[in-house]
Amino acid sequence: MGVAMAGMLVSGLRTLPSTIWEAVFAAGAAWFGYRMLQARRGIRPSPWRTSHPLPHLVECGAMAFMFLILPAAAPAEGTAGGMSMTMTATQSRFSFLTLPLAVFLFGYVVWLGDRVALHVPALATATGDARPVTGSGPGSGSGYAATPYYLAPRCAVICKITMGITMGYMLILML
């Protein structure tokens, strides 16, 4: 996802055609949608899978949306500085989606920031068991949270925060 975003922002960093990225993120959205349904049914996630699939579903959907809305912008309008994120009048009909998507992503970023201080102690006391939780948050539909197995939990959260802010910025540019 980071590679795809870099390619959208800076034309020199484009690695794959837009159609491939669209397929990748559509598949990702389908997978996380399936995981959402599983969570709704109360199926416990395995410890190495995320217990919050909703943000990943939205992120994949937002990426697919951006690639679909701006299909030809990158090669046609890309300059040395990067691609244009502005839309034509026809494309701007869908711009009403960008603000709620961006707000959701910023909400996810802030929610992650709230959790940063909690990850390290959780790792220190990790047992590998999934346990019921009462907290709310993005995608908390299963009622279970797996103990994180990240080797660098804060680094992982900061990466997610950076990705969320960058993707939100790209969406805001499309307003």
Partner 1 sequence: MTESLAAGPPAAGHAVGRAAAGPAALDARRKLQLALGVIWVLDGILQYQPSMFTASFPGMLAESAHGNPAVVAGPITWSANLIGHHVVVLNAIFATIQLALGLGIAWRPTVRLALAASAAWSLAIWWLGEGFGGILAGAASPVSGAPGPVVLYAILAVLLWPADRDPDAPSVAGRFIGRRPAQAVWLVLWGSLAAFALLPASRAPGAISHMLTDSADGAPAWLAWIDTHARTGEGGLTWAAPPGSLASSRPRASPSPSTAPAA
User: CB of 2 within 8 A of CB of 163?
Assistant: yes
102 near partner 1, rule: CB under 8 A: yes
* Helices 2-9 + 153-173 axis angle, to 10: 30
Which residue's CB is nearer to partner 1, number 27 or number 175?
175
Angle between helical axes of 18-40 and 53-69 (0-180°, round to 10): 150
Calpha distance 87→73 (Å, rounded): 9
Choosing from 115, 143, 156, 160, the residue that interacts with partner 1 (CB under 8 A) is 115
154 sits near partner 1 (criterion: CB under 8 A): no
Q: Which residue of 37, 43, 76, 117 would you call a contact of partner 1, by CB under 8 A?
A: 117
Rg (CA), the chain: 18
- Which residues contribute to the site for partner 1 (CB under 8 A)? 89, 92-93, 95-96, 99, 102-103, 106-107, 109-118, 121-122, 124-125, 131-137, 145, 161, 165, 168-169, 172-173, 175
